[in-house]
Amino acid sequence: MSTGAIAGIGTDLLRVERIERIHARHGDRFVRRILGPEEQVVHQRRQARDPRRGILYLATRFAAKEAFSKAIGLGIHMPMTWSRAQILNRPGGAPEIRLSGPLADWYAVRFGQAHVSMTDETDMVAAFVVIEALPPGPHSKEDIA
List, for residues 36-67, the tens digit of each pLDDT value.
999 999 999 999 999 999 999 999 999 999 99
Phi, psi angles (nearest 5°) of residue 43: -60, -45
The Cβ-side half-sphere exposure at 95, using a 13 Å CA radius, reads 21
Residue 18 has a pLDDT of: 96
Among residues 69, 86, 90, which one has the least CA distance to residue 78?
A: 69
12 is in an annotated binding site: yes
Kindly give, in sequence order, each residue whose CB lies less than 8 Å from that of residue 92, ignoring residues fewer than 6 positions away: none
pLDDT of 100 over the 90 cut: yes
How far is residue 68's CA from residue 116's CA, in Å, rounded to a whole number?
8
Residue 140 has a pLDDT of: 45
Pick the more confident residue, 79 or 32: 32
SS3 141: helix
Residue 138 has a pLDDT of: 64
123 is in an annotated binding site: no
Domains of the chain and CATH, by start:
6-144 (3.90.470.20)
First-residue to last-residue Cα distance in the chain: 23
- Whole-number Cα distances in Å, 21 to 10, 16, 18, 24: 25, 9, 5, 5
Q: pTM of the entire structure?
A: 0.88
Q: How confident is the model at residue 2 (pLDDT cuts 50, 70, 90)?
A: low
Q: How far is CA 56 from the centre of its chain?
A: 14
pLDDT of 91 over the 60 cut: yes
- Tell me the pLDDT of the chain averaged across its residues: 90
Q: How confident is the model at residue 145 (pLDDT cuts 50, 70, 90)?
A: very low
- Whole-number Cα distances in Å, 3 to 58, 68, 72, 94: 32, 19, 17, 21
Please state which of the ranges 34-38, 47-51, 78-82, 131-135 shows the lowest mean pLDDT.
78-82
